[in-house]
């Protein structure tokens, strides 16, 4: 038999991974093309707005289950496991640019702690 996995050996990245599901509000479905880019990201609730983790999907993938973890950090200095409180957002980007543009479709979670699972995020508002 194999040895039982050691829980203590699990890296912080797994303990602080965030999982959930992103859906697009039916009212906005007509405004999103199947090939539009969807960014799913976590950012610190306070301070820098730079994403701590970011995942790229397409509207045709929605509704989509996601996992955000330290492997998706844009900078090793800014990671989920280093954050106390984060906001998870989802954005349909017409331009495919990481920066928000007018006409993008948005949704975000409440403030949560890294490690939360089962977040439900609905993309339900349009950026001005």
Each residue's pLDDT tens digit, 83-107: 999 999 999 999 998 889 999 999 9
Measure the CA–CA gap between 116 and 65, rounded to whole angstroms. Answer: 14
pTM over 0.75: yes
Each residue's pLDDT tens digit, 13-49: 668 999 999 999 999 999 999 999 999 999 999 988 8
Residue with tokens 């306070």: 46
Q: What is the dihedral of CA 97, 102, 105, 108, to 10 degrees?
A: 90
Residues 87-109: b if buried by 16+ CB within 10 A, e if exposed: bbbbbbbbeeeeeeeeebbbbbb
């Amino acid at each position: 038999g194999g040895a039982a996995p050691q829980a203590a050996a699990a890296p912080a990245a797994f303990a602080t991974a965030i999982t959930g599901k992103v859906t697009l509000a039916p009212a906005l479905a007509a405004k999103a093309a199947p090939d539009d880019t969807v960014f799913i990201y976590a950012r610190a609730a306070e301070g820098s707005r730079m994403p701590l983790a970011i995942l790229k999907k397409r509207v045709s993938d929605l509704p989509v289950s996601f996992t955000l973890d330290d492997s998706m950090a844009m900078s090793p200095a800014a990671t989920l496991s280093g954050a106390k409180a984060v906001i998870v957002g989802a954005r349909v980007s017409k331009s495919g640019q990481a920066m928000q543009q007018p006409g993008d479709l948005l949704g975000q979670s409440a403030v949560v702690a890294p490690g939360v699972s089962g977040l439900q995020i609905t993309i339900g508002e349009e950026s001005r």
